[in-house]
Amino acid sequence: MTDFLVYSIAALVVGVGLFTKGFIWMREKKFIEELPTSNVRGLAMGPVEIKGKVEKAKLLTAPFSGEPCVYYKYTVVSKESMPPIPPIQECSQGIDCVSFSIRDKTGAVLVDPREAVIEIPKRYRYVSSLRRRPPKAIAEFCKRVGYPELLKKKKIQYTEWCIKPGDLLYVMGTAGENPHIKDTKGLKNTDDIMIQKGKDFDFFYISNKHEPDVLRKFKSKIRWGIFGGGAMIVSVVAFWVFIIWSWTGII
């Protein structure tokens, strides 16, 4: 019975969280819908929405694919139906990024992707198996993070997301003064303007999708949030009502 109570409280918390999140997503969808896309040349300070191609910048190397990139995120997950082994827990995910330029037909502007919600498709996935040797980049990664024993495990899933030069991106954030102007010497068309997470307008979003597809995705999230969360709340309340009725005959 205690388990049912704990699960029902957890379901209620999740339901309320989802319901609230649905309204937050609705607010974010409205930001995207209401703000027209700017050309880089005519950018004004404050909330902006631009789209363009990623230009070459100081590049990182993606850990699994070895591709040059300006942003990467990786996860290492055990697909075995057992509790996660310690190395998995400790090297399970990582993110790194550098400032890069976005160029459209009118010019280029710097973007600092830290603190952005970034939605891009996964570029690389590898699931280890005892029958084949892992790729060189995966083997080097495991040694670099100090867990070469991972290479001897099977069904370890290595997934990587990255943004490469030449990728077409949609960015919504705040155009403000570049606080890192000394660090960005050498980048083409670097200016004193940078798109970043703002203090007053904290929505900062980067995607490789076009705006209509981004809005469609938000619509779907809103439906899940509000109706899914609402349904969970009503279900938990109905469950409690039923339990109390079946125990006590009251209500």
Partner 1 sequence: MAIGVGIIVGVVVLLVVIVFVGWFVGLYNSLVRLKNNIKKSWANINVLLKQRTDELPKLINSVKGYMKHEREVLLGVTKARTAMMQAKSKPDKAKADNMLTGALKTLFAVSENYPKLQANENFMHLQERISGLENELADRREFYNDSVNTYNIRIHQIPAVFVARMLGYKEEEMFKVSEADKKDVEVKFD
Q: Which residues are at the interface with partner 1 (CB under 8 A)?
A: 19, 23, 26-27, 30, 33-39, 41-42, 44, 46, 106, 226, 230, 233-234, 237-238, 241-242, 244-245, 250-251
Find, among 81, 78, 79, 115, the residue nearest to 95 by Cα: 115
Q: Among residues 168 and 238, whose Cβ is nearest to partner 1? A: 238
Ordered alpha helix ranges (H), 107-228: 136-144, 211-223
- Answer whether 218's CB lies under 8 Å from 25's CB: yes
Q: Are strands 60-61 and 100-104 parallel, antiparallel or unpaired?
A: unpaired
Side-chain-side CA neighbours of residue 66 (13 Å): 7
Show the tokens assigned to 242: 């039923």
The CB-of-3 to partner 1 minimum distance in angstroms stands at 22
What is the residue whose two structure tokens read 């890069």? 100
What is the residue whose two structure tokens read 């290479």? 151
Q: Among residues 31 and 126, whose Cβ is nearest to partner 1? A: 31
The CB-of-22 to partner 1 minimum distance in angstroms stands at 9
The CB-of-244 to partner 1 minimum distance in angstroms stands at 7
Burial track 219-243 (b if 16+ CB lie within 10 A, e otherwise):
eebbeebbebbeebbeebeeebeee
Q: Among residues 59 and 233, whose Cβ is nearest to partner 1? A: 233
Q: Among residues 50 and 97, whose Cβ is nearest to partner 1? A: 50
The CB-of-134 to partner 1 minimum distance in angstroms stands at 50
The CB-of-36 to partner 1 minimum distance in angstroms stands at 3
Q: Among residues 105 and 199, whose Cβ is nearest to partner 1? A: 105
Q: Among residues 41 and 180, whose Cβ is nearest to partner 1? A: 41
DSSP state string for 97-140: E--EEEEETTEEEEE--TT-EEE----EEEE--TTSPPPHHHHH
- Answer whether 172's CB lies under 8 Å from 204's CB: yes
Q: Among residues 62 and 175, whose Cβ is nearest to partner 1? A: 175
The CB-of-250 to partner 1 minimum distance in angstroms stands at 8
The CB-of-225 to partner 1 minimum distance in angstroms stands at 11
**CA pair distance 233, 147, nearest whole angstrom:** 43
